[in-house]
Amino acid sequence: MSAEQNALVAIDAERYYRAMLSGDPDAWNVREGHMANTFFRLMDFYERTTDPKGIIWAHNTHAGDAQATDMVDTGQTSIGQIVRGALGVERTYLVGFGSYEGSLIAADDWDAPMKQMPLPPAMFDSWEHLFHGFDGGNRLVLFAANRQESQFFSQMRDHRGIGVVYDPNAEFATYTPTALRDRYDAFLYIDKTSALNPLPINPKIDEPPDTYPSAT
């Protein structure tokens, strides 16, 4: 399993970087497909001895169903869309997350150190702004059980999708038009969030860096 997965990583990494360096917009889909296929391979491996269930912890842009966003306009997919399409809605449960304001952990750029950053108030008329206007409280909205009764959440509104790299001064870049009910099975809203305290990382100095060899 490990040897096969390592080989798959090498193959997909080459496909990803070739697409990225050539400016191919499909580079995103190569990465999503690799992550989804890794999940499927793990499920297949553990099905030999048990009845496995898997949890994929990812940012909204990966976890939600891209078909319920404007990502479809550029042909982009997501892990959530791939897994939901392969296993069916009865065997998948996609959960989104949103917050109006607070603080978070992110980085200024790829390979930059993580740090605490402010999360400014959500953009006007976004889903996060709308939830804040209800009563300013936290809530968990379940769509899967009553999709027909949640037509209100099928409208397209901007929705935050903050990832590894974040610039509080360029908030507009983190939003994706989203039909919340169709993108997720449930949505967890925290009105004011607070940054996590990262676990200490003490890499072994005798191990090569993740990007070794860097010239490849």
- In tens, the pLDDT along 26-70 reads 899 999 999 999 999 999 999 888 888 999 999 999 999 999 999
109 found inside a domain: yes
CATH number at residue 138: 3.40.1660.10
69 found inside a domain: no
- In tens, the pLDDT along 79-121 reads 999 999 999 999 999 999 999 999 999 999 988 999 999 999 9
108 found inside a domain: yes
205 found inside a domain: no
pTM of the model: 0.86
- In tens, the pLDDT along 162-193 reads 999 999 999 899 999 999 999 999 999 999 99
Question: How many separate domains does the chain show?
Answer: 1
Is the pLDDT assigned to residue 135 strictly greater than 90?
Answer: no
Query: What is the DSSP-derived secondary structure letter of residue 155?
Result: S
Read off the tokens for 116. 């605490």
Read off the tokens for 184. 């997720």
Concatenate the DSSP letters of all residues of 5-52 into one string: HHHHHHHHHHHHHHHHHTT-TTHHHHHHHHHHHHHHHHHHHHTTTS--
216 found inside a domain: no
Contact 39, 56 (CB under 8 A): yes
130 found inside a domain: yes
What integer pLDDT is reported at residue 206 of this predicted model?
66
What integer pLDDT is reported at residue 7 of this predicted model?
87
168 found inside a domain: yes
pLDDT (average), residues 201-207: 65
What integer pLDDT is reported at residue 216 of this predicted model?
47
- What is the extent of the structural domain holding 112? 95-193
Tell me which of 196 and 208 has the higher pLDDT: 196
Query: In Å, how far are 14, 23, 80, 98 from 166, measured between CA atoms?
Result: 26, 22, 22, 15
Q: Express as a percent the part of the chain with pLDDT over 90.
A: 67
- In tens, the pLDDT along 33-45 reads 999 999 999 999 9
28 found inside a domain: no
